[in-house]
A and B are shown apart, each in its own frame.
Chain A
Amino acid sequence: MDDAWRTSAVGLVLARPPRLLGTEPFFMEFIAGIEERLAGHGRSVLLHVVAHHAAEIAAYRRWAQQRLVDAIVLVNPSVDDPRPAVLRELRLPVVVAGEPSHDTPAVRRDDVGSMRAALAHLVGLGHQRIARITGPGTLLHTRTRTTAMLAADVDAVVVEGDYSAESGARLTARLMTGPEPPTAIIYDNDLMAVAGLHAAKELGHRVPRDVSLIAWDDSSLCRLASPALTTMSLDVHSFGESVGESVLRLIDGGSVPERWCATETVVARETTSTPR
């Protein structure tokens, strides 16, 4: 009997607390994009979900020792990220989905351009006092979006959430009951936005008349919310395809050009309008 997929799998470890359900649609569509590129070459994505970075690193060590994967797709690059050094030490080739460290091959998202697009949509409607409920501050793309937001010509308020529905609801309530509530809120994911929408409505605010809301990561949750959420939309499947393309090049030993996703676009639905 041969070695199953040993020599044909690409590893992807998702480190997230178990309570963060709902991240599935984004990652499953991302992985489907990678798989679409790899399938023609008889390769597959081995997804492993763990609770934290230490377990993620343990998985990389195990896979390297077992020669179970040919390459790694590293997601959610973070500040002072210990993982790239470990992967170098283990000689596991890596493609970063997001901002790379050093000269690691990467497929990047245009976080600056996308944040500007979100703000331009709101400013175009007449908003000035704009809040944002972020994902974890340890993630590089959270910081990049924050920097872009603070550099823009708006009255920005940035509060840190953790992608959970609970943080979306709690921070929305805190912003809306504060002394100077914003006229618009941007959320770093869909779960927080949907929970924020509920929280705003429960406080008696009409959306979008009293407060406009924009979600990040267009998903069924956003499309099916009532009112339907305006979102920043990334073509997640083609993001995955680009990553798959880079992985194939990397495994073949070729040079891997840095790739960029298209800047995210605003899908205007029912939660953004001119401020009252």
Chain B
Amino acid sequence: MSGPAASKPQASSKSVVLDAIRAAGTISRVGLIRATGFTAPTISTLVRKLINEDLVVETGHAKSTGGKRRVLLQLNHASRYAVGVHLDHGVITYALTNLGGTVVARISRPGAGAEEPQVVVARIATEIAALIDGVGVERLRILGVGVVFPGPVDAPRGIGGPPDVGLAPAMRQWNGFPLGRALEQVAGLPVVLDNDSTAAALGEHWTGGFGTAASAAALYMGTGIGAGLVINGVTYRGPSGNVGELGHVSVSADGPRCWCGARGCVEALAGPAAVVAAVRSDPAATRAAGLAAGGRRSSVVADFAAISRAARRGEPRALALLERSARYVGTAARTLANLMDLEVLVLTGPSLAAAGSVYLPIVRHELRTAFSRGTHTVDVRLSRSAATASAIGAAALILESELVPLGHGPRPAEHLAEERTRLTESAS
């Protein structure tokens, strides 16, 4: 099994219950009846199955509300694990997470570079094996491997889209490569593929970063800019995986030509690479940010992080360039919010891990003029795990596809919200 998880069949009622438990954090059987609409005997049977499979454990009691005390259920976090791989030109990041999507181990290794895909795949398989050994988890508890990269997933189970479109420029030798099948053969584990921004959004969803929002997005900034959408609890992938290309929202019809072929894309005008180029064109700013001089090669992400640290130290040029970039990014984010009626926007990715405190207030400000403002605000937050978001999302991809296959339709978010509020109150 691999390929876009959207091709999964209808979820079983067992996985609906498991997902309700995941979403709530802790929940009673009565809460599950309310959240899923299933009958008490059905919930009782399904919960027993989940406990027998070790996926769910009973954990203490909710405060009594008159009747008998309710037993609370939660995911058994240490019962299953997943490996997430963020495959990129400059660096490959691995995360091993538990069932709840919490990082148990992480390592970054040299990127795919110009190596042949087949060679890189062999290396990824050995590095995954070492990561699993290093954590000391039995192999049978590993559900599989999610791999994400800066580009669309092409059916069947490969990377790509037509030549020279879709994939970020540095990754084009991967076009059409059947990554899923190749890695499954070498690694001996199920493999699921996705785009890195979409995965980052799924990671937020799985770990609770979107709360109960019906329309939520992750704004991912690494080398480029992307967005992932989770609508009614389901990741939106579009028919060809070419979704959420926020970096290629044009903010100037007469702007400079972008690598994608269009003009005035926000990524070309104000993405991390544009910020780094602007700093590097100014020798004083380059020195102030401590960027390595021409000789030493360094990545856009590393340079952008150095510029962010300089801004935090109060370097005016670095701060001004980041604030300018943030206004552009906020403008594109407002377009996304207006198109999708967003309730939550989470800022994530390594570049926002570094510069989030500059971007957050500015993006928030830009979203105050979103169309939905008469009805609801757009809640803009920083991800709790921005630096490793894509690799965590890659792991969440396998957790979701193995345990809660998509397609079970909109979930009763308002019941879960209610349940969560009550539990928070009774826990304090």
* B34 contacts partner chain A, Cβ-Cβ < 8 Å: no
* B278 contacts partner chain A, Cβ-Cβ < 8 Å: no
* Interfacial residues of chain A within 1-44, with CB under 8 A of chain B in the complex: 1-6, 9, 18, 21-22, 24-25, 28, 32, 35-36, 39-40, 42, 44
Q: Are B360 and A224 in contact (CB under 8 A)?
A: yes
B122, B134, B309: which contacts A68 (Cβ < 8 A)? B134
B107, B129, B302, B360: which contacts A47 (Cβ < 8 A)? B107
Please classify how large the interface on chain A is, using the bins under 10, 10 to 19, 20 to 34, 35 or more. 35 or more
Give the residue name and chain of the B residue nearest to A21 (CB): B384
Given that A49-B103, A58-B136 are contacting pairs, would A4 and B356 also be in contact in the complex, using a CB cutoff of 8 Å? no
Q: Are A28 and B387 in contact (CB under 8 A)?
A: yes
Q: A18 to chain B: which residues have CB within 8 Å?
A: 77, 102
* A176 contacts partner chain B, Cβ-Cβ < 8 Å: no
* A198 contacts partner chain B, Cβ-Cβ < 8 Å: no
* B260 contacts partner chain A, Cβ-Cβ < 8 Å: no
Q: Are A220 and B387 in contact (CB under 8 A)?
A: no
Give the residue name and chain of the A residue nearest to B299 (CB): A39
Given that A1-B122, A28-B353 are contacting pairs, would A48 and B382 also be in contact in the complex, using a CB cutoff of 8 Å? no
* A66 contacts partner chain B, Cβ-Cβ < 8 Å: yes
CA gap between A28 and B389 in the complex, in Å: 12
A4, A21, A28, A237: which contacts B388 (Cβ < 8 A)? A28
Q: Are A9 and B107 in contact (CB under 8 A)?
A: yes
The contact sample of 29 A-B pairs, CB cut-off 8 A, is A2-B126, A3-B130, A4-B126, A4-B127, A5-B130, A24-B385, A25-B353, A32-B305, A32-B387, A35-B108, A36-B302, A44-B108, A46-B105, A46-B106, A46-B107, A48-B105, A48-B134, A49-B102, A49-B103, A62-B136, A66-B133, A66-B134, A68-B130, A68-B134, A220-B357, A224-B361, A224-B382, A237-B305, A237-B309
Q: Are B387 and A24 in contact (CB under 8 A)?
A: yes
Q: Are A49 and B104 in contact (CB under 8 A)?
A: yes
Given that A28-B353, A32-B305, A46-B134 are contacting pairs, would A5 and B388 also be in contact in the complex, using a CB cutoff of 8 Å? no
Given that A24-B384, A36-B302, A62-B136 are contacting pairs, would A223 and B357 also be in contact in the complex, using a CB cutoff of 8 Å? yes
Q: B125 to chain A: which residues have CB within 8 Å?
A: 1
B103, B108, B312: which contacts A45 (Cβ < 8 A)? B108
CA gap between A58 and B134 in the complex, in Å: 11
* B135 contacts partner chain A, Cβ-Cβ < 8 Å: yes
B103, B104, B123, B353: which contacts A4 (Cβ < 8 A)? B123
CA gap between A47 and B104 in the complex, in Å: 8
* A59 contacts partner chain B, Cβ-Cβ < 8 Å: yes
Q: A39 to chain B: which residues have CB within 8 Å?
A: 110
Q: B133 to chain A: which residues have CB within 8 Å?
A: 62, 66, 68
* A260 contacts partner chain B, Cβ-Cβ < 8 Å: no
* B257 contacts partner chain A, Cβ-Cβ < 8 Å: no
* B48 contacts partner chain A, Cβ-Cβ < 8 Å: no
* B109 contacts partner chain A, Cβ-Cβ < 8 Å: yes
Q: A24 to chain B: which residues have CB within 8 Å?
A: 384-385, 387
CA gap between A46 and B127 in the complex, in Å: 11
Given that A1-B126, A5-B130, A62-B134 are contacting pairs, would A44 and B382 also be in contact in the complex, using a CB cutoff of 8 Å? no
Please classify how large the interface on chain B is, using the bins under 10, 10 to 19, 20 to 34, 35 or more. 35 or more
Interface residues of A, Cβ cutoff 8 Å to B: 1-6, 9, 18, 21-22, 24-25, 28, 32, 35-36, 39-40, 42, 44-50, 58-59, 62-63, 66, 68, 218, 220, 223-224, 235, 237
CA gap between A223 and B129 in the complex, in Å: 40
* Interfacial residues of chain B within 1-17, with CB under 8 A of chain A in the complex: none
Q: A5 to chain B: which residues have CB within 8 Å?
A: 107, 109, 127, 130
CA gap between A48 and B361 in the complex, in Å: 33
CB proximity of B31 to chain A, nearest CB, Å: 21
CB proximity of B323 to chain A, nearest CB, Å: 14
* Binary contact readout B224-253 vs A (1 if CB under 8 angstroms, 0 otherwise): 000000000000000000000000000000
CB proximity of B314 to chain A, nearest CB, Å: 9
The 3 A-B pairs at the shortest CB distance, nearest first, are namely A4-B126, A4-B130, A220-B357
* Interfacial residues of chain B within 115-171, with CB under 8 A of chain A in the complex: 122-123, 125-127, 129-131, 133-136
CB proximity of B120 to chain A, nearest CB, Å: 13
* Interfacial residues of chain B within 85-123, with CB under 8 A of chain A in the complex: 102-110, 122-123
Q: B104 to chain A: which residues have CB within 8 Å?
A: 48-50
Q: Are A59 and B357 in contact (CB under 8 A)?
A: no
CA gap between A48 and B105 in the complex, in Å: 4
CA gap between A42 and B123 in the complex, in Å: 14
Q: A220 to chain B: which residues have CB within 8 Å?
A: 356-357, 360, 382
CB proximity of B250 to chain A, nearest CB, Å: 30
Q: B134 to chain A: which residues have CB within 8 Å?
A: 46, 48, 59, 62-63, 66, 68
Known pairs A21-B384, A24-B387, A39-B110; list 7 more (Cβ under 8 Å).
Answer: A1-B125, A2-B126, A4-B130, A18-B102, A49-B102, A58-B136, A224-B360
Give the residue name and chain of the B residue nearest to A38 (CB): B108
CA gap between A160 and B221 in the complex, in Å: 38
* Interfacial residues of chain B within 349-391, with CB under 8 A of chain A in the complex: 353, 356-357, 360-361, 382, 384-385, 387-388
CA gap between A257 and B109 in the complex, in Å: 28
Q: Are B357 and A48 in contact (CB under 8 A)?
A: no
Q: B382 to chain A: which residues have CB within 8 Å?
A: 220, 224
Q: A46 to chain B: which residues have CB within 8 Å?
A: 105-107, 131, 134
Q: B109 to chain A: which residues have CB within 8 Å?
A: 5, 44
Q: B309 to chain A: which residues have CB within 8 Å?
A: 235, 237
